[in-house]
């Protein structure tokens, strides 16, 4: 089995067990970016509550900009790290107002994915994972974001080297995972990481991809490329 075959086998197995998530590209890219910024260090429920309060309190992003960072902080307190997140969100709104003349990320729709990613990465506080989430979920692009669960699971599967940085891991996974699998594999690997492939005490005997996992003692492991020097 080659590397691509390995990825496809894991993808198929996860879909058999966890299902095939329906691909949906939701809403406005700026809403998507702010939602993703709110997700840092909190669960989905609190992230959604913080976002809902923000939208409730400020009918437009213009209104949020005018209200100032302190008012944003109060609105998103439920989501945790409110001081840091509110300053970042306010700075983003301010930057868009000054550079674009309007508070919107709609201009990204007309750009190639690489360029759209670079524009997102130029925003303070936006890293690869956040940029790729916006590309995948809100701009409908073939992009693979890797959160902490995905980094752990793909390390254990052997897809990324043990010592690879998060940025390097994003590059490897983007090249390794076939575009049609990205949406489903992203969600199913997170589900696997949350339920079975936990940081400590992973439940390998119950894991649907154990036969393909080097960490879990499987035999159908990801082929090592002896000739290739891994760049971390
Ligand atoms: S076999 Fe174990 S280590 Fe491998 S992916 Fe499954 S739970 Fe994680």
Instruction: Determine what percent of the chain is predicted with pLDDT higher than 90.
Output: 86
Whether 129 is a known active-site residue: answer yes
Report the pLDDT value the prediction gives residue 100, as an integer from 0 to 100: 86
pLDDT at 207 over 80: yes
In this prediction, residues 211-218 reach a mean pLDDT of 96
Enumerate helices (H) and strands (E) in the chain, giving the number of each.
11, 0
Q: How many CB atoms lie within 10 A of CB 47?
A: 21
Q: Please tell me which residue, 1 or 114, carries the higher pLDDT value.
A: 114
- Asked whether residue 24 carries a pLDDT value surpassing 90, the answer given is no
Is the pLDDT score of 231 beyond 60? no
User: Taking all residues of the chain, what is their mean pLDDT, rounded to a whole number?
Assistant: 93
Show the tokens assigned to 21. Answer: 């998530």
pLDDT higher than threshold 90 for residue 42:
no
Choice from 196, 199, 221, 222 to test ligand 1 binding pocket (greatest atom count within 8 A of CB): 196
Residue given tokens 């309007």 in the structure block: 102
Return the pLDDT at 206.
97
> What mean pLDDT is predicted for residues 126-135?
95
Does ligand 1 come within 6 angstroms of the Cβ of 215?
yes
Q: Residue 45: exposed, middle, or buried by beta-carbon count in 10 A (0-12, 13-18, 19+)?
A: exposed
Residue 227 has pLDDT above 50, yes or no: no
Label residue 232 by pLDDT band (50, 70, 90).
Answer: very low
pLDDT at 52 exceeding the cut of 80: yes
Ranges for all domains in the chain classified under CATH 1.10.340.30: 29-138
**What kind and span of H or E run contains 67?**
helix 61-67
Q: Compute the distance between CA of residue 55 and CA of residue 41 in angstroms, rounded to an integer.
A: 20
Token pair 């508070």: residue: 103
Q: What is the CATH number that goes with domain 3-21+145-212?
A: 1.10.1670.10
Is ligand 1 within 6 A of the CB of residue 204? yes
Q: Interhelix angle for 3-18 vs 182-195, to 10°?
A: 70
Whether pLDDT at 148 is above 50:
yes
What is the average pLDDT across 15-21? 96
Joined tokens for residue 153 = 């699971």
Q: For 101-114, what is the mean pLDDT?
A: 94
Give the integer Cα–Cα distance in Å for 152 and 148: 6
Q: Is 172 in the pocket of ligand 1 (CB under 6 A)?
A: no
Ligand 1 atom 8, closest CA: 197
Q: pTM for the whole thing?
A: 0.89
The residues of the chain that CATH labels 1.10.1670.10 are: 3-21+145-212
Write down the pLDDT at residue 223: 93
User: In 3D, which of 32, 128, 37, 125 has the Cα closest to residue 76?
Assistant: 37
Q: How confident is the model at residue 229 (pLDDT cuts 50, 70, 90)?
A: very low
Does 220 sit in the ligand 1 pocket, CB within 6 Å? no
- Report yes or no: 188 and 14 within 8 Å, Cβ to Cβ: yes
Q: How far apart are CA 59 and CA 68, in angstroms?
A: 14
Q: From the candidates 66, 129, 200, 224, give the one annotated as an active-site residue.
A: 129
pLDDT of residue 27: 80
Mean pLDDT of 23-37: 87
For a pLDDT cut of 70, what percent of the chain falls above it? 96
Can you say whether residue 226 is alpha, beta or left, with left for phi > 0 and alpha for psi between -120 and 50 degrees? alpha
- Our measurement of the distance from residue 97's CA atom to the centroid of its chain's CA atoms, rounded to an integer in Å, reads 26
Tokens of 217: 């003692």
Angle at 8 between CA 16 and CA 155, to 5 degrees: 100
Whole-number pLDDT of residue 201: 87
CA of 218 to the centre of ligand 1 (A): 9
How far is residue 115's CA from residue 123's CA, in Å, rounded to a whole number?
A: 13
Q: What's the CATH number of domain 29-138, 3.40.50.1110, 3.30.1330.60, 3.30.1370.10, 1.10.340.30?
A: 1.10.340.30
Q: Which residue has the tokens 């590397």?
A: 3
């Amino acid at each position: 089995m080659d590397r691509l075959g390995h990825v496809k086998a894991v993808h198929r197995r996860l879909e058999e067990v966890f299902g095939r998530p329906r691909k949906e590209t939701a809403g406005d890219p700026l809403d998507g970016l702010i939602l993703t910024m709110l997700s840092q260090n909190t669960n989905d429920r609190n992230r959604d509550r913080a976002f809902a309060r923000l939208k409730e309190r400020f009918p437009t992003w213009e209104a949020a900009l005018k209200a100032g960072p302190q008012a944003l902080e109060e609105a998103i307190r439920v989501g945790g790290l409110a001081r840091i997140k509110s300053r970042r969100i306010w700075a983003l709104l301010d930057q868009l107002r000054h550079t674009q003349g309007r508070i919107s990320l709609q201009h990204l729709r007309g750009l190639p994915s690489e360029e759209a990613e670079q524009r997102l990465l130029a925003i303070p506080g936006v890293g690869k994972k956040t940029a790729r989430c916006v590309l995948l979920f809100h701009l409908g692009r073939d992009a693979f974001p890797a959160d902490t669960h995905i980094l752990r699971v793909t390390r254990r599967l052997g897809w990324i080297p043990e010592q690879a940085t998060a940025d390097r891991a994003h590059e490897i996974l983007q090249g390794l995972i076939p575009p049609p699998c990205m949406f489903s594999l992203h969600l199913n690997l997170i589900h696997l990481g949350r339920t079975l492939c936990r940081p400590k005490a992973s439940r390998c005997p119950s894991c649907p991809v154990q036969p393909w996992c080097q960490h879990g003692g499987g035999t159908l492991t990801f082929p090592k490329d002896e000739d290739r020097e891994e760049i971390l």
